[in-house]
Structure 1
Amino acid sequence: MPDLIDLLWSDESDAGAARRGPRRRTTPREVVSTAIALADESGLSALTVRALAQRLGLTPMAVYTYVNSREDLLVLMADLAHTRMPAPDCSGDPSTWRERVRDLADRNRDLLCARPWLLEVHDPRLVLGPGTIAKYDRELAVFDGLRLDDLRRDAALSFVLDFARAGALRRREAQSAGALDWERVAMPLAGHLGERHPLAQRVGAAVGAELDGAYDADAAWRFGLERVLDGLAPIIEQGDGSSR
């Protein structure tokens, strides 16, 4: 069986030209694309080799001639998703760094919200993929022209991506929990709280009235992202970007 790195970096046109024997019914890229479509539709729990084989018109054993295992398949899927991700905006002079980093964060959160199954792929081998490496390269360029050495540039990118991942996960959790009818629960809850938790009652009531619920993932994202930018500002704008 081909090594995962060979699968990640294979050029299908070259591979097809070099292969001897009867023409294969599909291609590795088509297998991975179909797996992505299944995961987009129903999540990773529905992505079984049997379901993938049925969608492709193959036998389950035939699927393994294209990908070695489900674990390898998940890496291939995530890497292809990264390949298809729109590039961040790297234009503008260094003074526009906040807009560039905000765009970077938004794009990553959007990807994870559109394809929440990516949040479940934790395989460290993903960093070996061409799509993931290209994504890393493009996103490092967001910090071009700023006073950051290479280590701080990488750290700043990781900081932003970790926040985007957390924001997407929190949004997913909020969607799974469903909306809370704040008007229906506010009065009964206030009656139970009484004088026991006055600060929670006061702040919770203000938040509930403003957001029409106990939590708004998008509002939390906007607030948190501005704090991320504020946190990066000293090392970017005051020149403290060395790796001391």
Structure 2
Amino acid sequence: MAKDTTRPRGGPPDPVRSLALLWSARDRRPARNARHDLSVDRIVRVAIGVADAEGVDRLSMRRIAEELGVGTMTLYTYVPGKAELVDLMLDTVYGEVVTRPGADAAGECPDGDWRTRLDRVARDNWGLFRRHPWMLHVGVTRPALGPNAVAKYERELRAVADIGLSAIEMDTIVHLVIGHAETTARRADEAERVERDSGMTDEEWWRAQGPVLGSLMDSSAFPLAAAIGEAVGAAHGRAYDAGHNFEFGLRRILDGIAVMVDARTDTG
């Protein structure tokens, strides 16, 4: 993917430590001074819950320790730090896609033609970002390659494995549909944050701004902008509807891939 999104404050993760945690038995407890009710998995699940409910800005080792009812330093006997914890969180939520109905342990994609399968890839990722919007703010372009991340990628590649594409084309198409899901989910999350912080819905905001803009702007000077903006506002009640754009964009992306696949078939 093109960009490398900034990770949370606290320094970059140690890839060796992250990988060791990701690929080890994650319910294993430290040999000394271990609490019987605490494990790496439980810490990760609580961290995901905090991030889901409060956002990644509130995520800290101290906040997680408060939720667990333990001292902050206790967590460091299980997880080296926040950056490595985020790697564990990402791999854990990737498992929601790998283990969803229709997927087996090997990462099999659901039945259907390539378009149906790729549509599912896009929707799985859209749903993942919408359930866990903190993913959009921690950087997913250089994740530690844990078992769920690898299984997810395997499953997504299987969606386009039998349609005559090269290895590079398979990878690019998978990232194209995931990128579309990520972009539209990011816009949806931004809209929800603005609404939450301002206490005003998009519809209320436009209702307040519209008369002012109308009194200042000569719509005849911008006829297309005025007409299209009015039509979009009437249809969606806002200037941008992330759900609509996800659906429309996904159909157009799949249509474009179909042209490419059909051309290969015709010349093959």
TM-score by length of 1: 0.86
Deviation at 1:108, TM superposition (A): 0.4
Deviation at 1:21, TM superposition (A): 4.5
Deviation at 1:68, TM superposition (A): 0.5
Q: Provide the C-alpha distance between the structure 2 equivalents of 1:163 and 1:152, rounded to a whole number of angstroms.
A: 16
Where do residues 78-117 of structure 1 align in structure 2 (5 Å cutoff)? 78-85=90-97, 86=100, 87=103, 89-92=109-112, 96-117=113-134
The partner residue of 2:50 within 25, 30, 38 is 38
Give the equivalent residue in structure 1 for 2:213: 189
Contact 1:105 1:161 in 2 (8 A): yes
The partner residue of 1:3 within 17, 29, 40 is 17
Q: Provide the C-alpha distance between the structure 1 equivalents of 2:174 and 2:243, rounded to a whole number of angstroms.
A: 21
Unaligned runs of 5+ in 2: 1-13, 196-201
Deviation at 1:184, TM superposition (A): 5.3
Q: Provide the C-alpha distance between the structure 2 equivalents of 1:230 and 1:123, rounded to a whole number of angstroms.
A: 27
Contact 2:19 2:146 in 1 (8 A): yes
Structure 1 206/166 Cα, relative in aligned 2: closer, same or farther at 3 Å?
A: same
Amino acid at match of 1:132: A
Contact 1:109 1:168 in 2 (8 A): yes
Deviation at 1:90, TM superposition (A): 2.7
Deviation at 1:125, TM superposition (A): 5.2
Contact 1:140 1:154 in 2 (8 A): yes
* Equivalent pairs, count: 234
Q: Between Structure 1 and Structure 2, which shows a larger proportion of helix residues?
A: 1
Q: Provide the C-alpha distance between the structure 1 equivalents of 2:239 and 2:79, rounded to a whole number of angstroms.
A: 45
Amino acid at match of 1:30: R
Deviation at 1:161, TM superposition (A): 1.0
Q: Provide the C-alpha distance between the structure 1 equivalents of 2:46 and 2:192, rounded to a whole number of angstroms.
A: 26
Give the equivalent residue in structure 1 for 2:246: 221
Q: Provide the C-alpha distance between the structure 1 equivalents of 2:230 and 2:31, rounded to a whole number of angstroms.
A: 70
Give the equivalent residue in structure 1 for 2:35: 24
1:175 aligns with 2:192: yes
Q: Provide the C-alpha distance between the structure 1 equivalents of 2:231 and 2:34, rounded to a whole number of angstroms.
A: 66
Structure 1 214/28 Cα, relative in aligned 2: closer, same or farther at 3 Å?
A: same
Q: Provide the C-alpha distance between the structure 2 equivalents of 1:83 and 1:124, rounded to a whole number of angstroms.
A: 17
Q: Provide the C-alpha distance between the structure 1 equivalents of 2:85 and 2:43, rounded to a whole number of angstroms.
A: 9
TM-score by length of 2: 0.79
Contact 1:9 1:130 in 2 (8 A): yes
1:65 aligns with 2:77: yes
Q: Provide the C-alpha distance between the structure 2 equivalents of 1:45 and 1:168, rounded to a whole number of angstroms.
A: 18
Deviation at 1:175, TM superposition (A): 1.9
Give the equivalent residue in structure 2 for 1:204: 229
SS at match of 1:132: helix
SS at match of 1:84: helix
Q: Deviations over 1:194-244 (max 9, x none)?
A: 23322211111121222222221111111111121122223322218xxxx
Unaligned runs of 5+ in 1: none
Deviation at 1:11, TM superposition (A): 1.3
Taking only aligned residues, the RMSD between alpha carbons, in angstroms, comes to: 2.3
Instruction: Give aligned-pair identity as a percent.
Output: 33
